[in-house]
């Protein structure tokens, strides 16, 4: 009951955020956004045809009407049909989101797990050569552009070694999944690892300096025990925050690059195509749903806070 | 656990049956819409003509392209005045089974379906991209659309005389009419499916073509053979088979066999050249159009085109010229350099345009971006059409800085050149092309700032800028709808000015008069002569910087017996593709 | 008699506590709850109490660094609670504060000169050239060498920083300084230096102090009057002599007994511990009914649970001794039984 | 014995007794920074790049980036140190010219987003849990929940190919991080006694923000500025690949975008040169930024 | 006060020297420190911040921050066992079992994400091989002994649900739960209110005497020393300046620093003083110590030799001090 009232309160609190996101993205992407009209026209259009297409796309209606329409779509989660293909937006999303999740999940999980492990190791040996090695590696990883990594990995694994496909997504069982997901996963882990390790190390070092860690040592706790119970468990709030908040970014921005470069029909590629073709219903859906995802993640984060830290209360302000 | 769920979600596609013969085709772009009414691109057409039927198709192997009846039983009867066409349609052809039909069983295709399919283009609700093919040509059709598109209302010029006979009455002779009935736009769609799927008809097409679409997304379209499809057997001789040209491809084995030959079809849409090429090399797809940057690695000779030994051992090749061209154009509506009411200024403006044209180096463009495989030609009658004049002076496509500078001096342009904006969709290659062009015009005195790029995030926005006459200079490509020079010459017809197809806003009464004169002419020497006259006008007025037709080099796996094409023939070839026996074990071995 | 320098009447400061679905105010944290006292010029009022009793909040409310929730505040006969922003800004010149944490009380990125110059500039004290001289004087007064002027706070020890803090408070020549735990964070040897400095300054400049501390010994040393605070209220106030020689409120007594004496011969730890209070200080959000001290009071009676004791003067007119305890209420005639 | 140990907080501020050799916070940071060899190396490399950019600015070199000086895909030679690209343009000249582009983007975005983030973050922190803070937090939340590339694309489209669209979009997204950090620091600082002291002497709110709070967040602004600088350079690569980046001119991002096709055709020069230039600068900047962060870390400062 | 004197000290610290690497170079935080504690005895170490008293405790525990701090010389013998040369693993087994420590800040010294039960039983399970049930039982018993009401319920609380005094009691219970030979209490009551401080000290002393634990009590508060300790060590700038039984120390401090310290602390007096006696000047910088006596710069009894050479430790009865010119004057008490 406490949880429910909390979630309701947070959902209500998320409304301004969603309104803000929809308003900004509406103004930028829809109102001033790309004009689809001229892509839908025939080779020899007339003014009348142009007016007709604009009317069909709804471009001729006033700002407020169109924005209200968008809000209505958000409320009903029905974004109509793609302006390009005519496919129902909901069916596009339900077709592509699972692909993106399957594509991104291994890299996301590995990137964070490895980051935490490396962060723990570096934090424990901080100042020593192990730490310097790991952090040096992290800086190198952080300094390479994602694009460069993708191109290099494709060339290496796809062309030079020929172990994995350069692109595509023809997944129907576990081996084919592994076959297609490996290179994108390696690329995303490679890129994320530097940032993750660095962040986790900083958080863990902060925690390692706390009094209770000294207490644990004074009572003879083993390093593994200290690292897990005192350091990791107490650093969960920033860790959970970072991991959860990276989800919406990865789902849209991360998948956008990977998918358009690996030619994988996920939500990122659809979004990218929607940008370059001005497919507003899809853009509206993606942006709107990302905002909703953000709000949901805000809620999940707060609930997880309470799970990982008994001091956090959902009702009061006491933190 | 979450991973497992994701995996399941991702693996929901049914496993493919490995015993089927599946031809895996690669294309460089995905079609936007599969609705014939919007089949304006090569990519849409590729799918549409395989899922739907058109009355006519092009012969498999004959070049220049020739029509052959497809759904039609023979060629139409044409009245003497050239205004009334009567088509006979095969009987016994059925649409594929689909939930859209009562009982889920496809019914017979009739002449009424063709009437409906062409009517749709004039229905304002359909957002047709092909209506212009028939606009103003068929008696009563335009009015029908303007009067609310009531499908129950009869149209005088477009009627089914019975289930298997269609009559079209033209407002004026239209020699290209039969060509238009081989275009994807004219494909026959069942009204039931259009109504059943509504807007989603564009991704769930139902037709009577050789294949039935089973899945479609921006990366892959898969098809099964349409078991109801029966057009008899392949007659190689009728299709224009010549042993000297086609002998090595193993097509003989197919002669006399019923088509389509493959059980399934996959079309992979792969945007990046490199990815597409690698998919081909690794055997994931059966064919590829050689991307430019691979030309040097693959070919030992460009004229004639010869593969290197390694490639020749593994793959078949075929090369052909594209049905279209790329060109640069000026916005003639701009008085700074386009048409001008003052004849002196008009002449000076022409000189400026000619100077820019002469500064443009087609050879460099060809070498850099088409690896020397492009076919540079003067004017706008492209090499693929029969009216092409191989002997035309090449003066207009020669890089000639001296004449360019001379003209600028002569007409007093020196030091007062206008600033020109160059529009382009934002892409790496477009930018490189621009950079090369800019380096060339700098040679005739334009400064970097005077010749500035304007890039557009979407092609639509780029088109809008052209249609709104905001760009001074732009480069575009045109692909032919049918093999007739009229298709490109109409781009310069005054009444077609923007937002029509005349993006140049070229307005020359002499040209227009000639154009109108040719409209009703049947193919022949007289028409060809007039076409060439018009062509010369366009060249002399320096409206365009034209042109180049690309040479396509197709490679395909030797186990596949076919002759791929994506120009005029396009998707029609897929029904004749056969996979050799080896493939049954080789598919997806990795 | 003239109006006292500072007169506090029923001063209260409550902080709202929010919660629930609509984040409504659910309760009030009564940090200061009806405090009254007077302070003459040149004198020091010692405010003593354990952590969380509201003494720091009271100190800040006196300066209107917190807006009082209720009650009145007169400074030299003027009602401070009625001042608008600009008048308050002028008033700030009269009243200053010294803080506990010598590390947090100085801006780390400003030199001593900048720190001391700011109040002079703000209140337009002296001429531009005179200000520098004035700053040097101030440093001298608080016992710092003039070369300290262009140094940053981190270059000083805790005691020296506290001296800078005192110099800043003195810069505007205030009539009243609130010293909030001004020596608590310092080492003993430094503590006594600063205490002496404060004593000297009072003698030299006649500044009145409200001296807040949890250390009864320090308060005894520096104060003229002492108030003992518990849960936002003054439970006992009197002259320093009276409080320390005859503590009356059970809380005051307990406090005094609990202080460890630096003398192995004195009462043993056992004695101190025997008289110590049970339990912890209750939450100021939900203070106990009646006398807020009754939950820990060794002498609590039934009435203490239900009735809030009034403040009763058990001293004389001239030497008042206010105690908030039912035990001393003559109306209840309990003090007899107690004695 | 190989127990790496846990560095406990100095149990007593023993270090506080240590007279620092330097007389200012910055001086001490400088000392700390000087001892950090990696950071010094990083700074030196950044300086070299900066000189390169300045040279391009003044037209000392890199002037012929747009001209076709040689044939297609020439190998490294005396004339073209790092070979030529598809158009016959000199790859070295283009890479050098791109240094200027990178610094322009990096500096503009870093400076603007730091200014904006610092200012709004300070306002938000100072007026925390007041309406102005709510509005700013709402704005930050909103901007943060729009996917970055979508946002940039939207700005680019909405501004119809304006060459500054990318910068504006980056500033609009990057400032929020700075603002949140500054906000947090200001909230922490404003409860410190020196701020109360400023109130007590009668200082106005804006003076407190600008004189007492913002200067104390300077280390955050500086470090965050360097981080944004690097992020902007890296984001440019992606945006240029997507066609939303630099409109006229050349940048490493454009070079890499050009080279993605060439790499698979076996032409690596463009890719290697552009990636290496960028990698070296970004790496150097990261090292520099790390060193700076360490040197300015308030927890290291003896207090 | 009389306590049983045992021949073998539980802890013997001999000539302990600890150095720290800092940006200003190597500094010696503890210099040639020697003392010993016997079972059931409480040794107080008193001094101002930075005098090295806490570093000493960490050095004994083997918890010096590495690699910055290390023991450069001397020995620490716990029951005859040399701790400074013990491998980390063995030392770990001793910590919490043979020697325990409690810290100043009760608010932060416990792991906030685990319940008291979990933290206390972890220690018991680790060192005493108790089952979970036994460990819980023992933990509740220990909590009861340090005076926590309803220990069977409070044991499932999280640290933030307890007040500072309660937490410090939990720390004491935890530290003594394995009946260590030595307990080091580093400023255990400094962060507590006076009323709580007395309670907590009481509980600690009671339990210590019950268990016969040796205690090192580190504090800056001479009052605490006077009330709880048998012996006291006074440290200044890293070295011991005086050691004596508490009664002797307060009766007649010998080192001028001890005397100054005693005089300058504010205490509740019957008659107020106008000015407090002070020790003039400041503690010297550890990185630049004077060659002679470290207190010489502030010493009222300073002689010339004090500035040049370090006074050796002199014994006078049970009292030790490092001064050429010891204090003889009266000390107000």
Q: Name all domains of chain D by residue range, CATH numbers in brackets.
A: 92-300 (1.10.3720.10)
The rounded distance, in Å, linking the Cα atoms of D161 and D156 is 6
Mutate to test the interface with A, among C16, C20, C24, C29 (most CBs of A within 10 A): C20
Q: Could you tell me if residue B431 is inside a domain?
A: yes
Nearest-by-Cβ selection for E111 from A216, A218, A236: A216
E161 touches chain D (CB under 8 A): no
Q: Which ipTM score applies to this complex?
A: 0.83
**Average predicted confidence (pLDDT) for chain D:** 82
Q: Which of C111, C152, C172, C185 to mutate to test the interface with D (most CBs of D within 10 A)?
A: C152
Residue E116 and residue E154 in contact, taking contact as beta carbons nearer than 8 Å: yes
Q: What's the pLDDT score for residue B337?
A: 94
Range of the domain at E116: 109-179
pLDDT tens column, B326-336:
999 999 999 99
**Predicted model pTM:** 0.84
A214 to chain E, any CB pair closer than 8 A? The answer is: yes
Residue from the list C100, C105, C118 with its beta carbon closest to the beta carbon of D201? C118
Q: Is the pLDDT of residue D18 over 60?
A: no
Write out chain A residues lying below 8 Å of C21, CB-based.
Answer: 5, 8-9
| Among the partner residues B294, B367, B428, nearest to D257 by beta-carbon distance | B428
Domain that holds residue C211: 6-248
Asked if E197 and C258 come within 8 Å (Cβ–Cβ), the reply is yes
Share of chain B above pLDDT 90, in %: 69
Give the span between the Cα atoms of D6 and C90, in whole angstroms.
52
Tell me the shortest Cα–Cα distance from C139 to chain D, in angstroms: 18
> Which residues make Cβ contacts (< 8 Å) with residue B323, sequence separation at least 6?
B382, B384, B479, B480, B483, B567, B568
Give the one of D148, D158, D257 whose C-beta lies nearest to A28's C-beta: D158
State which residue of chain A sits closest to D9, comparing Cα positions.
Answer: A209
Query: Is A218's CB within 8 Å of E63's CB?
Result: yes
Adjacent-strand bridge partners of B561: B578
The average pLDDT across B546-559 equals 92
**What is the C-alpha separation between C130 and C136, in angstroms, rounded?**
10
Please report which residue ranges of chain E form alpha helices under DSSP H.
Answer: 53-61, 88-94, 116-128, 132-145, 151-154, 164-176, 194-211, 222-228, 246-251, 256-264, 304-308
Nearest to E50 among D4, D17, D20 (CB): D17
First-last CA distance in chain C: 36
| Confidence bin at A316 (pLDDT 50/70/90) | very low
| Percent of chain D whose predicted confidence (pLDDT) is above 70 | 88
Chains contacting A with at least 3 CB pairs below 8 Å? B, C, D, E
**φ and ψ at residue B358, rounded to 5 degrees:** -70, -30
pLDDT at E7: 56
Using the Cβ of B461 and the Cβ atoms of chain A, whether some distance falls under 8 Å is answered with yes
Task: Please tell me the distance from the alpha carbon of residue E287 to that of residue E24, in angstroms, as a whole number.
Answer: 7
The percent of residues in chain C predicted with pLDDT above 90, rounded, is 29
**CATH number of domain containing C220:** 3.40.50.300
Q: With an 8 Å Cβ cutoff, are D12 and E63 in contact?
A: no
Q: Is D286 on the interface with A (CB under 8 A)?
A: yes
- Is B476 near chain A, with CB under 8 Å? no
Distance from CA of C22 to the nearest CA of A (A): 8
Indicate whether C221 belongs to any domain.
Answer: yes
Pairwise pLDDT comparison (D302 vs A86), residue with the higher score: A86
Closest of D183, D158, D182, D156 to residue D242, by C-alpha: D156
- Determine, for residues D147 and A24 on separate chains, whether the beta-carbon distance falls below 8 Å: no
pLDDT per position as a tens digit, E8-41: 789 999 999 999 887 777 888 999 999 999 998 9
Nearest Cα residue in chain D from A33: D158
The answer to whether A9 faces chain E, any CB pair under 8 Å, is no
b/e map of D180-190 (b: 16 or more CB within 10 Å)? bbbbbbbbebb
Give the one of E193, E267, E269 whose C-beta lies nearest to C214's C-beta: E193
Confirm or reject contact between A5 and chain C (CB < 8 A). yes
Q: Which of A105-109, D14-18, D159-163 has the highest mean pLDDT?
A: A105-109
Q: Is residue B359 part of a domain?
A: yes
Helices (H), B169-240: 177-180, 191-197
Q: Tokens standing for E244?
A: 């004596």
First to last CA, chain A: 20
Beta bridge partners of B220: B268
Task: Flag whether pLDDT at E291 surpasses 90.
Answer: no
Instruction: From A218, A202, A219, select the one nearest E64 (Cα to Cα).
Output: A218
Nearest Cα to Cα of residue A287 among A89, A109, A64: A89
At D3, is the pLDDT very low, low, confident or very high (cuts 50, 70, 90)? very low
Indicate yes or no: CB of D202 within 8 angstroms of CB of C104.
Answer: no
Neighbours of chain B (3+ CB pairs under 8 A): A, D
**Between chains, do E268 and C220 touch, taking CB under 8 Å as contact?**
yes
Among D161, D164, D258, most B C-beta atoms within 10 A, so best to mutate, is D161
For chain E, what percent of residues have pLDDT higher than 90? 38
Contact check, Cβ <8 Å, D23/C105: no
Tell me the H-state helices in B393-496. Answer: 401-410, 428-442, 459-467, 486-489
| Residue B5, pLDDT score | 43
- CATH superfamily to which A96-308 belongs: MetI-like (1.10.3720.10)
Instruction: Count how many domains chain E has.
Output: 1
Q: A176-191: per-residue pLDDT in tens?
A: 899 889 999 999 999 8
Provide, rounded to the nearest whole percent, the portion of chain B with pLDDT above 70. Answer: 95
What ranges in chain D are assigned the alpha helix state H? 25-35, 37-57, 91-126, 131-144, 148-158, 165-190, 193-200, 205-207, 218-241, 252-264, 269-296
Beta carbons of D196 and C165 less than 8 Å apart? no
In this prediction, residue C273 carries a pLDDT of 58
- Residue C1, exposed/middle/buried by CB under 10 A (0-12, 13-18, 19+)? exposed
- Best probe of the C interface among E49, E236, E278, by most C CBs < 10 A, is E278
Dump the DSSP string for B239-280.
TT--HHHHGGGTGGGGTT-BS---SEEEEEE--SHHHHHHHH
> Quick check: D25 and C99 CB within 8 A?
no
For D12, name the nearest residue in chain E, comparing CA atoms only. E50
Determine B/C contact with 3+ CB pairs under 8 A as the test.
no
Is B309 within the bounds of a domain? no
> Which of E203, E217, E222, E276 would best serve as a mutation to test chain C binding (most C beta carbons within 10 A)?
E276
Close Cβ partners of D26 (under 8 Å, ≥ 6 residues apart): none
Give the gyration radius of chain E's Cα atoms.
21
Number of domains in chain C: 1
Residue partners of A249: CB distance under 8 A and separation at least 6: D147, D148
Query: What burial class does residue E75 get, using C-beta atoms within 10 Å of its C-beta: 0-12 exposed, 13-18 middle, 19+ buried?
Result: middle
Q: With contacts defined as CB-CB under 8 Å, which chain D residues touch B439?
A: 66-68, 87
In a domain, B43, yes or no: no
CATH number, residue B447: 3.10.105.10
Task: Return the partners of chain E (3 or more C-beta pairs < 8 Å).
Answer: A, C, D
Q: Please answer whether residues B54 and B208 qualify as being in contact, where contact means their C-beta atoms are separated by less than 8 angstroms.
A: no
User: Number of folded domains in chain B?
Assistant: 1
- Give me the residues of E, 82-121, that contact A with CB < 8 A: 92-97, 100-101, 103, 105, 108-115
Q: Is residue C10 part of a domain?
A: yes
Q: Is the pLDDT of residue C331 over 80?
A: no
For chain E, the distance separating the N- and C-terminal CA atoms, rounded to the nearest angstrom, is 19
Q: Who among A125, A260, A271 is closest to D150 (CB)?
A: A271
Kindly state the helix (H) or strand (E) to which residue B45 belongs, with its residue range: helix B42-51
- D-chain residues within 8 Å CB-CB of B272? 260-261
Whether the CB-CB separation of B176 and B527 falls below 8 Å is answered with no
Residue D10: list chain E partners with CB under 8 A.
65
Composition of chain B by helix, strand, coil, percent to 5: 35, 20, 45
**Which residues, 6 or more positions from E18, have their beta carbon under 8 angstroms from its beta carbon?**
E28, E29, E30, E52, E55, E56, E59, E64, E69, E70, E71, E72
| Contact yes or no for A219 and E126 at CB 8 A | yes
Q: What is the 3-state secondary structure (H, E, C) of chain A?
A: CHHHHHHHHHHHHHHHHHHHHHHHHHHHHHHCCCCCHHHHCCCCCCHHHHHHHHHHHCCCCCHHHHHHHHHHHHHHCCCCECCCCCCEHHHHHHHHHHHHHHHHHHHHHHHHHHHHHHHHHHHHCCCCHHHHHHHHHHHHHHHCCHHHHHHHHHHHHHHHCCCCCCCCCCCCCHHHHHHHHHHHHHHHHHHHHHHHHHHHHHHHHHHHCCHHHHHHHHCCCCHHHHHHHHHHHHHHHHHHHHHHHHHHHHHHHHHHHHHHHHCCCCHHHHHHHHHHHCCHHHHHHHHHHHHHHHHHHHHHHHHHHHHHCCCCCCCCCCC
**Domain range holding B372?**
324-549
Is E65 in CB contact (< 8 Å) with chain D? yes
- pLDDT tens digits along D280-302: 999 999 899 888 888 876 555 43
pLDDT digits (tens, 9 = 90+) for A196-217: 998 999 899 888 888 899 899 9
Per-residue 3-state assignment (H helix, E strand, C coil) for D151-163: HHHHHHHHCCCCC
A8 pLDDT exceeds 60?
A: yes
């Amino acid at each position: 009951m406490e949880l429910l009232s909390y979630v309701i309160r947070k959902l209500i609190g998320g409304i301004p955020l969603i309104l803000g996101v929809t308003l900004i993205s509406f103004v930028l992407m829809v109102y001033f956004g790309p004009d689809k009209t001229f892509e839908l026209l025939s080779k020899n259009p007339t003014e009348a045809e142009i007016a007709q297409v604009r009317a069909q796309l709804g471009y001729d209606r006033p700002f407020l009407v169109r924005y209200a329409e968008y809000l209505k779509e958000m409320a009903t989660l029905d974004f109509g049909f793609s302006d390009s293909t005519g496919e129902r937006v909901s069916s596009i999303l339900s077709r592509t989101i699972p692909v993106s999740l399957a594509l991104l999940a291994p890299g996301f999980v590995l990137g964070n797990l490895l980051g935490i492990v490396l962060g723990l190791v570096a934090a424990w040996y901080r100042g020593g050569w192990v730490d310097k090695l790991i952090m040096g590696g992290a800086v190198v990883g952080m300094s390479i552009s994602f694009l460069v990594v993708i191109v290099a990995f494709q060339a290496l694994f796809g062309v030079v070694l020929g172990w994995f496909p350069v692109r595509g997504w023809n997944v129907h069982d576990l081996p084919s999944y592994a076959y297609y997901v490996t290179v994108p996963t390696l690329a995303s882990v490679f890129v994320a690892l530097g940032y993750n390790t660095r962040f986790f190390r900083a958080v863990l070092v902060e925690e390692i300096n706390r009094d209770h860690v000294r207490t644990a040592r004074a009572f003879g706790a083993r390093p593994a025990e200290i690292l897990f119970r005192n350091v990791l468990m107490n650093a969960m709030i920033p860790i959970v925050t970072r991991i959860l908040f990276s989800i919406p970014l990865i789902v849209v921005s991360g998948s956008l690059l990977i998918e358009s470069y690996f030619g994988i029909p996920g939500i990122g590629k659809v979004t990218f195509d929607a940008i370059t073709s001005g497919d507003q219903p899809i853009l509206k859906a993606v942006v709107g749903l990302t905002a909703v995802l953000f709000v949901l993640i805000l809620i999940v984060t707060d609930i997880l806070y309470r799970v990982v830290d008994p001091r956090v209360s959902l009702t009061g302000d006491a933190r | 656990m979450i991973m497992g769920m994701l995996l399941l979600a991702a693996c929901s596609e049914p496993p493919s049956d490995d015993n089927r013969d599946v031809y895996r085709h690669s294309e460089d772009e995905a079609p936007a819409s599969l609705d014939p009414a919007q089949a304006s691109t090569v990519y849409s057409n590729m799918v549409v003509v395989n899922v739907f039927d058109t009355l006519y198709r092009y012969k498999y192997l004959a070049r220049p392209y020739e029509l052959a009846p497809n759904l039609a039983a023979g060629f139409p009867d044409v009245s003497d005045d050239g205004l009334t066409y009567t088509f006979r349609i095969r009987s016994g052809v059925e649409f594929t089974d689909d939930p859209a039909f009562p009982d889920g069983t496809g019914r017979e295709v009739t002449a009424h379906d063709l009437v409906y399919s062409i009517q749709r283009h004039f229905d304002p609700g359909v957002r047709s991209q092909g209506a212009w093919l028939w606009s103003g040509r068929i008696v009563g059709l335009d009015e029908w659309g303007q009067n609310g598109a009531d499908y129950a209302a009869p149209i005088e010029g477009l009627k089914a005389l019975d289930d298997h006979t269609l009559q079209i009455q033209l407002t004026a002779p239209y020699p290209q009419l039969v060509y238009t009935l081989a275009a994807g736009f004219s494909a026959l769609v069942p009204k039931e499916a259009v109504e059943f799927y509504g807007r989603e008809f564009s991704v769930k097409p139902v037709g009577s073509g050789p294949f039935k679409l089973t899945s479609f997304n921006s990366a892959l379209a898969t098809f099964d053979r349409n078991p109801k499809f029966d057009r008899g057997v392949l007659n190689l001789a009728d299709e224009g088979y010549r042993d000297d040209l086609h002998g090595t491809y193993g097509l003989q084995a197919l002669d006399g066999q019923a088509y389509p030959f493959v059980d399934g079809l996959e079309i992979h849409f792969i945007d990046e050249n490199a990815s597409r090429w690698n998919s081909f090399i690794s055997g994931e797809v059966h064919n590829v159009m050689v991307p430019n940057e691979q030309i040097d690695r693959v070919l030992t000779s460009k004229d004639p085109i010869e593969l290197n030994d390694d490639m020749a051992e593994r793959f078949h090749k075929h090369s052909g010229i594209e049905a279209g061209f790329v060109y640069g154009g000026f916005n003639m509506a701009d008085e700074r350099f386009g048409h001008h009411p003052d004849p002196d200024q008009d002449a000076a403006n022409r000189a400026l345009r000619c100077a820019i044209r002469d500064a443009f180096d087609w050879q460099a463009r060809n070498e850099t971006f088409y690896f020397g495989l492009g076919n540079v030609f003067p004017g706008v009658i492209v090499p693929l059409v029969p009216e092409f004049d191989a002997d035309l002076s090449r003066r207009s496509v020669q890089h000639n800085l001296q004449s360019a500078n001379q003209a600028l001096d002569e007409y007093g342009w020196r030091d007062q050149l206008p600033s020109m904006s160059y529009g382009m969709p934002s892409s790496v290659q477009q930018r490189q092309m621009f950079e090369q062009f800019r380096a060339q015009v700098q040679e005739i005195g334009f400064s970097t700032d005077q010749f500035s790029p304007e890039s557009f995030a979407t092609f639509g926005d780029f088109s809008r800028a052209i249609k709104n006459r905001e760009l001074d200079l732009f480069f575009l490509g045109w692909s032919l709808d049918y093999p007739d020079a009229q298709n490109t010459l109409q781009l310069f017809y005054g009444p077609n000015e923007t937002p029509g197809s005349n993006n140049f806003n070229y307005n020359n009464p002499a040209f227009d008069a000639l154009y109108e004169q040719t409209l009703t002419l049947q193919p022949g020497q007289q028409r060809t002569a007039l076409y060439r006259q018009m062509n010369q006008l366009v060249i002399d007025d320096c409206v365009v910087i034209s042109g180049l037709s690309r040479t396509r080099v197709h490679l395909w796996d030797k186990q596949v017996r076919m002759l791929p094409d994506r120009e005029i023939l396009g998707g029609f070839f897929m029904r004749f593709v056969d996979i050799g026996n080896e493939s049954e074990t080789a598919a997806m071995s990795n | 008699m003239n109006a006292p320098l500072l007169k506090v009447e029923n001063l209260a400061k409550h902080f709202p506590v929010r919660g629930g679905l609509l984040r409504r105010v659910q309760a009030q944290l009564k940090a200061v709850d009806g405090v009254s006292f007077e302070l003459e010029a040149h004198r020091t009022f010692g405010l003593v109490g354990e952590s969380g009793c509201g003494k720091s909040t009271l100190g800040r409310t006196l300066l209107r660094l917190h807006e009082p929730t209720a009650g009145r505040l007169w400074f030299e006969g003027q009602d401070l609670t009625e001042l608008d922003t600009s008048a308050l800004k002028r008033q700030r010149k009269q009243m200053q504060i010294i803080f506990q944490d010598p590390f947090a009380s100085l801006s780390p990125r400003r030199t001593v000169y900048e720190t001391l110059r700011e109040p002079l500039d703000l209140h337009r004290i002296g001429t531009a050239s005179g200000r520098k001289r004035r700053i040097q004087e101030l440093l001298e007064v608080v016992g710092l060498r003039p070369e300290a002027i262009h140094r940053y706070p981190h270059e000083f020890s805790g005691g020296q920083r506290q001296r800078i803090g005192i110099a800043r408070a003195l810069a505007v020549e205030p009539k009243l300084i609130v010293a909030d735990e001004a020596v608590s964070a310092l080492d003993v040897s430094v503590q006594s230096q600063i205490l002496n400095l404060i004593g000297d300054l009072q003698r030299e400049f006649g500044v009145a102090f409200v001296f807040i501390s949890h250390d009864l010994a320090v308060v005894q040393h520096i104060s003229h009057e002492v108030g003992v605070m518990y849960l936002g209220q003054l439970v006992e106030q009197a002259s320093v002599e009276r409080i320390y020689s005859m503590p009356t409120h059970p809380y005051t007594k307990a406090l005094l007994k609990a202080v460890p004496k630096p003398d192995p011969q004195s009462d043993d730890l056992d004695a101190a511990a025997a008289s110590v209070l049970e339990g912890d200080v209750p939450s100021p959000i939900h203070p106990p009914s009646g006398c807020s001290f009754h939950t820990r009071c060794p002498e609590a009676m039934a009435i203490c649970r239900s009735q809030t004791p009034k403040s009763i003067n058990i001293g004389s007119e001239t030497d008042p001794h206010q105690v908030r305890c039912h035990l001393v209420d003559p109306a209840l005639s309990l003090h007899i039984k107690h004695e | 014995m190989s127990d790496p140990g846990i560095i406990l907080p100095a149990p007593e501020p023993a270090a506080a007794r240590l007279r620092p050799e330097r007389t200012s916070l910055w001086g001490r940071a400088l000392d700390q920074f000087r001892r950090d060899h990696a950071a010094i190396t990083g700074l030196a490399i950044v300086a070299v790049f900066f000189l390169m950019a300045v040279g391009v600015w003044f037209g000392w070199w890199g002037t012929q980036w747009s001209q076709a000086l040689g044939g297609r895909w020439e190998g490294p030679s005396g004339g073209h140190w790092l070979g030529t690209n598809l158009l016959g343009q000199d790859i070295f000249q283009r890479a050098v010219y791109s240094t200027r582009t990178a610094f322009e983007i990096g500096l503009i975005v870093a400076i603007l987003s730091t200014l904006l983030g610092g200012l709004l973050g300070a306002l938000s922190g100072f007026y925390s849990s007041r309406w102005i803070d709510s509005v700013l937090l709402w704005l930050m939340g909103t901007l943060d929940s729009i996917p970055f590339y979508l946002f940039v694309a939207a700005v680019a489209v909405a501004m119809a190919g304006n060459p500054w669209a990318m910068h504006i979009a980056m500033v609009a997204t990057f400032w929020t991080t700075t603002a949140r950090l500054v906000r947090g620091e200001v909230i922490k600082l404003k409860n410190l006694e020196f701020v109360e002291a400023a109130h007590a002497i009668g200082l106005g709110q804006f003076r407190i923000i600008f004189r007492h709070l913002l200067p104390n967040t300077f280390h955050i602004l500086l470090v965050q500025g360097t981080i944004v600088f690097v992020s902007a350079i890296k984001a440019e690569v992606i945006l240029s690949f997507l066609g939303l980046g630099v409109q006229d001119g050349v940048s490493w991002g454009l070079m890499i975008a050009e080279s993605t096709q060439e790499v698979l055709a076996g032409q690596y020069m463009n890719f290697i040169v552009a990636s290496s230039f960028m990698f070296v600068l970004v790496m150097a900047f990261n090292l520099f930024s790390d060193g700076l962060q360490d040197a300015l870390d308030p927890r290291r400062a003896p207090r | 006060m009389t306590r049983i004197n045992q021949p073998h000290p539980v802890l013997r610290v001999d000539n302990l020297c600890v150095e720290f690497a800092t940006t200003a170079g190597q500094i010696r935080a503890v210099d040639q420190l020697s003392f010993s504690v016997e079972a059931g005895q409480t040794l107080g170490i008193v001094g101002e911040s930075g005098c090295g008293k806490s570093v000493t405790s960490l050095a004994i525990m083997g918890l010096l921050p590495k690699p910055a701090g290390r023991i450069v010389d001397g020995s620490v013998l716990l029951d005859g066992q040399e701790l400074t040369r013990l491998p980390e693993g063995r030392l770990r087994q001793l910590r919490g079992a043979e020697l325990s420590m409690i810290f100043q800040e009760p608010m932060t010294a416990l792991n906030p994400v685990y319940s008291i039960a979990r933290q206390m039983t972890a220690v018991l399970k680790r060192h005493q091989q108790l089952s979970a049930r036994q460990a819980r039982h023992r933990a509740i018993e220990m909590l009861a002994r340090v005076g926590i009401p309803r220990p069977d319920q409070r044991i499932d609380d999280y640290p933030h649900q307890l007040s500072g005094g309660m937490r410090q009691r939990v720390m004491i219970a935890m530290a003594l739960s394995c009946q260590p030979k030595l307990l080091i209490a580093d400023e255990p009551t400094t962060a507590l209110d006076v009323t709580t401080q007395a309670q907590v000290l009481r509980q600690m002393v009671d339990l210590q005497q019950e268990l016969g634990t040796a205690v090192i009590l580190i504090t800056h508060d001479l009052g605490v020393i006077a009330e709880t300790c048998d012996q006291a060590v006074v440290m200044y700038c890293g070295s011991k300046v005086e050691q004596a039984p508490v009664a002797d120390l307060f009766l007649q401090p010998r080192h001028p620093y001890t005397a100054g310290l005693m005089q300058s602390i504010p205490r509740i007096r019957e008659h107020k003083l106008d000015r407090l006696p002070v020790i003039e000047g400041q503690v010297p910088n550890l990185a630049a110590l004077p060659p002679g006596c470290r207190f010489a710069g502030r010493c009222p009894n300073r002689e010339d030799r004090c500035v040049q050479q370090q006074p050796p430790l002199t014994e006078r009865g049970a009292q030790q001090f490092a001064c050429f010119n010891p204090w003889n004057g009266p000390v107000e008490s």
